Amino acid sequence: MFYIFVFITIFVSELVYFRIADKFNIIDKPNERSSHSQLTLRGGGIVFYTGISIFFLLNNFQYPWFFIGLSLITLISFADDVRPQSSKLRLLIHFTAMGLMFYEWGLYDFPWYFTIIALIFCTGVLNAYNFMDGINGITGGYSLVVAGCLLFINQNIINFINTEFIYLLIIALLVFNFFNFRLKAKCFAGDVGSVSMAFILIFIIGKLIINTGNLGYIILLSVYGVDSVLTIIHRIILKENIFDAHRKHAYQLLANELKIPHLIVSLFYAFLQLIIALGFYAFIDYPYYYLSATIILLAVAYVIFKLKYFHLHKNV
């Protein structure tokens, strides 16, 4: 009954947000990076913050430094959805939020260079998650798979985080997917959704890695990671500004040039990540071999796909 009540609460909060977004014209206008052509409400991913806030309030304010960081991330991302914010301001707040999350992890007890590595990695994931949020269902579907895998690990391999934290995150994702995982989305996640979701998943995966000492668990973000990193490399080869809007990700070619329905592409990314995660569990005694092999295979598949179909993008 508790989780049903939480679901209803988050669902109603999303409906309330829709009224606010409609009144204040918080909409997503298609641009050269967009894979959609209609005006759609932006910022529906704010329910991710709602779900974690409920957890925070009902569990004696557990993980307070993380929650403060998430609040900062959510605030600046929502402000950016309403009106574009200074990139320097966003970066400052992102770094501040990550610093708070590192404190929650206990990362500062490790040698200083761990903090530098974590800062670079987390910044990359935040941006990758934001860039990958371009078609209906991809953020919600992919994140649901990752959250589900983390729940399985927490219950069957090592208990490293309060299980209710993941349950409430999954409920928020189910609510969001109800409105986004459809042919004509009622809303998009917006920066507030994609960036906050990235921050939440980074926090959980970071706790898992620190508790186990196993870096192999970054494989839970491998599909997004390979697509994002290799697309950046591709754009550098093309001598493009990597910060400009574009439609060169593999998922964008699938949806735009090959005309595969958005939901099919989103399901493919989610299912591929699920298969990879199941394989990791099967080879859990050889995490780094499996991680290396997976990244190599994904990279090869990406390159072959781009060599075969990128000409369609150039001809648009």
Please say if the pLDDT value at position 117 is more than 70: yes
Overall number of domains in the chain: 1
| Strands of 27-28's sheet in order across | 27-28, 40-42, 187-188
- The residue count of the chain comes to 316
Strand partners, 27: 41
What local confidence, expressed as pLDDT, does residue 315 receive? Answer: 61
Q: Which amino acid is at 257?
A: E
State how far the Cα of 18 lies from the Cα of 41, in Å rounded to an integer. 7
* pLDDT tens for each residue of 168-197: 999 999 999 999 999 999 999 999 999 999
State how far the Cα of 112 lies from the Cα of 303, in Å rounded to an integer. 36
- Residue 1 pLDDT level (bands cut at 50, 70, 90): confident
Closest CA to 167 of 184, 189, 150: 150
What does pLDDT average to over the chain? 93
Token digits of residue 282: 């099967």
CB 205 within 8 A of CB 221: yes
* Domain extent at residue 214: 2-314
- Residue 46 pLDDT level (bands cut at 50, 70, 90): very high
State how far the Cα of 26 lies from the Cα of 3, in Å rounded to an integer. 30
* pLDDT tens for each residue of 228-253: 999 999 999 999 988 787 889 999 99
As a whole-number percent, the residues of the chain with pLDDT over 70 amount to: 96
Collapsing DSSP to helix, strand or coil, 188 comes out as strand
Token digits of residue 114: 């761990």
pTM of the model: 0.95
Please say if the pLDDT value at position 301 is more than 90: yes
* Radius of gyration for the chain, computed over Cα atoms and rounded to the nearest angstrom: 19
